[in-house]
Chains A and B, each alone.
Chain A
């Protein structure tokens, strides 16, 4: 029975560390991605928005329609459509798991527009440097976490272990 006790004792510690690092870091990473998207002006609106309000012109007048690309991605999550044509080749991204949506590009004037009906809604917004900065800050935290993992692997190989008894981790001999 002593093995079971040791195993359960180690298991909950591994579970806590795993949740903090294994789930925590990817969550920070996801928040970073969301911040980055928000910072780039690619926002989404509520899925319940009325279809009548979903005709959103995309400001891509400088971009010939021929270079405009539309990508349809149907990953999970609330139905929404994101249009971001603020720079470079205009791209209309429709990301929706349900509902009906359609994208129409007007190649005559060089303007793109998206028509979304039902719950899919497209919104573009101004760039927000704060969001971009926050996104990269969150990525930096994740990178630090990965570096900590690398340090642990290398240190273990050379007979050291990470000590967390102080505020910042230090290397001590095993």
Chain B
């Protein structure tokens, strides 16, 4: 029973991961109308699905980055396997609940925050509550970038800056190069540039993030004695996790898409291309070099960078500041939820405790969903002007003599 709840909750997390992160790949393409909103989320969903199946590597040791509930081979710690592994299952369940609640809350507020960090935060909180300080991998063993500091905190600070610099440089030079080139060349050309780079980000996201859920579910299966192979994961786990993240991506976290595409800065196609290319390059280079980072932080840093790089563009620092604040409190906030959930589940005990935790998750999720119905954001209004007031268009100065003539001729 507890295992079933863990599996359902893990897939639910995967789903929220998908719709929370759609914006990372597609927000700029939607904002510049390079792709229609529904087309963009459908493309991203398909690429996430494909990406999830592309990777055959087992992310079984995913929790080792921040907590010590597994050994290096991925096997659960023996001391946590008593009573059918219920202690471990409750830690995982509470951690997942922490991640989901934070994902939903930040979605409700329209804030792009890292799903991976939310999961890690939830797991850290639940582990702290269950095993104490010694259960958390704070800094690794010194042989590599590891632990809460190395895998979460430092990348959260460094990766947006790197992505921002890359996007700012790219945007600035692109605008210098294309200054004066007719819009029919730039708009159409950079439209394709955006679609290509956004597709790369979607694919990379599918290969990385779906694996985390697969690893968590497989760990739960091993802990409960339903799986023993440390080299492979069950096919149904792979399929269900891939479908969950793809469906979540297709659902589209429109609130976050709106913030990233319209809220931080006004984006045009050359900017969007620079931002997405910068994000794709930084994600792939980091992955190649083993430098852990969050797709969300990179994508957001790129958008801010593209705003700084475009002459005359304005970055809304109030919006960016709220996001950065959300990043800073992701780990402790998700951790707090995870810890509270563990305490509640542990206090009630056994299957009933897990059921209570799951019920609380359902209630919290339902409450946030209902709250989201007020001021709904979807594919129809995702591109409305920010704050309801028309924002200055890309042209900084209107051309007064032309519109009447131009409009008439264009209409004909």
Task: Report the separation of the CA atoms of residues A42 and B274 in the bound assembly, to the nearest whole angstrom.
Answer: 24
Cβ-based interface call for B177 (8 A)? yes
Contact of A23 among B170, B187, B190, B397 (CB under 8 A): B170
Chain B residues near A120 (CB-CB < 8 A): 399
Q: Are A77 and B179 in contact (CB under 8 A)?
A: yes
**Residues A11-44 near B (CB distance < 8 A):** 11, 13-15, 17-23, 25-27, 29-34, 36-37, 40, 42, 44
Task: Report the separation of the CA atoms of residues A37 and B312 in the bound assembly, to the nearest whole angstrom.
Answer: 24
Q: Are A14 and B175 in contact (CB under 8 A)?
A: no
Contact of B289 among A4, A10, A76 (CB under 8 A): A10
Chain A residues near B150 (CB-CB < 8 A): 3, 6-7
Convert A134-164 into 0s and 1s, putting 1 for each residue whose CB lies closer than 8 angstroms to a CB of B. Answer: 0000000010001001101110111101100
Q: Are A95 and B183 in contact (CB under 8 A)?
A: yes
Q: Are B406 and A71 in contact (CB under 8 A)?
A: yes
Cβ-based interface call for A84 (8 A)? yes
Chain B residues near A96 (CB-CB < 8 A): 399
Chain B residues near A86 (CB-CB < 8 A): none
Q: Are B186 and A153 in contact (CB under 8 A)?
A: no
Cβ-based interface call for B166 (8 A)? yes
Instruction: Compute the total of residue contacts between A and B using a CB distance below 8 Å.
Output: 267
Cβ-based interface call for A94 (8 A)? yes
Q: Are A17 and B393 in contact (CB under 8 A)?
A: no
Chain A residues near B207 (CB-CB < 8 A): 153, 156-157
Q: Are B186 and A14 in contact (CB under 8 A)?
A: no
Give the B interface residue count (CB, 8 A).
85
Cβ-based interface call for A98 (8 A)? yes
Contact of A71 among B147, B178, B184, B286 (CB under 8 A): B184
Cβ-based interface call for B8 (8 A)? no
Task: Report the separation of the CA atoms of residues A95 and B175 in the bound assembly, to the nearest whole angstrom.
Answer: 13
Interface SS majority for chain B: helix
Chain B residues near A146 (CB-CB < 8 A): 196-197, 200
Cβ-based interface call for A109 (8 A)? no
Q: Which of B146, B165, B284 has the most CB of A within 10 A?
A: B284
Give the A interface residue count (CB, 8 A).
77
Task: Report the separation of the CA atoms of residues A7 and B144 in the bound assembly, to the nearest whole angstrom.
Answer: 9
Cβ-based interface call for A170 (8 A)? no
Q: Are A11 and B405 in contact (CB under 8 A)?
A: no
Task: Report the separation of the CA atoms of residues A75 and B183 in the bound assembly, to the nearest whole angstrom.
Answer: 8
Chain A residues near B165 (CB-CB < 8 A): 15, 18-19
Q: Are B395 and A76 in contact (CB under 8 A)?
A: yes
Q: Least Cβ distance of B72 to chain A in Å? A: 16
Contact of A37 among B185, B281, B290, B395 (CB under 8 A): B185
Q: Are B284 and A37 in contact (CB under 8 A)?
A: no
**Residues B398-412 near A (CB distance < 8 A):** 398-403, 405-406, 409-410, 412
Chain A residues near B395 (CB-CB < 8 A): 73-76, 97
Convert A89-102 into 0s and 1s, putting 1 for each residue whose CB lies closer than 8 angstroms to a CB of B. Answer: 00101111111111
Chain A residues near B340 (CB-CB < 8 A): none
Q: Are B285 and A18 in contact (CB under 8 A)?
A: yes
Cβ-based interface call for B311 (8 A)? yes
Chain A residues near B183 (CB-CB < 8 A): 71, 73, 75, 93, 95
Task: Report the separation of the CA atoms of residues A94 and B258 in the bound assembly, to the nearest whole angstrom.
Answer: 30
Q: Are A22 and B268 in contact (CB under 8 A)?
A: no
Chain A residues near B373 (CB-CB < 8 A): none
Q: Are A21 and B145 in contact (CB under 8 A)?
A: no
Q: Are A3 and B154 in contact (CB under 8 A)?
A: yes
The segment from B49-57, B125-133, B213-221 that touches chain A is B49-57
Cβ-based interface call for B291 (8 A)? yes
A residues contacting B by CB (< 8 A) are 2-4, 6-8, 10-11, 13-15, 17-23, 25-27, 29-34, 36-37, 40, 42, 44, 47, 66, 68-78, 80, 82, 84, 91, 93-105, 117, 120, 142, 146, 149-150, 152-154, 156-159, 161-162
**10 more A-B contacts (CB under 8 A) besides A18-B162, A76-B310?**
A7-B150, A8-B158, A11-B158, A13-B289, A21-B281, A37-B182, A44-B181, A71-B184, A75-B268, A157-B207
Between A and B, 10 residue pairs with Cβ closer than 8 Å are A2-B140, A3-B147, A10-B145, A11-B291, A18-B163, A32-B189, A34-B185, A77-B180, A100-B399, A153-B203
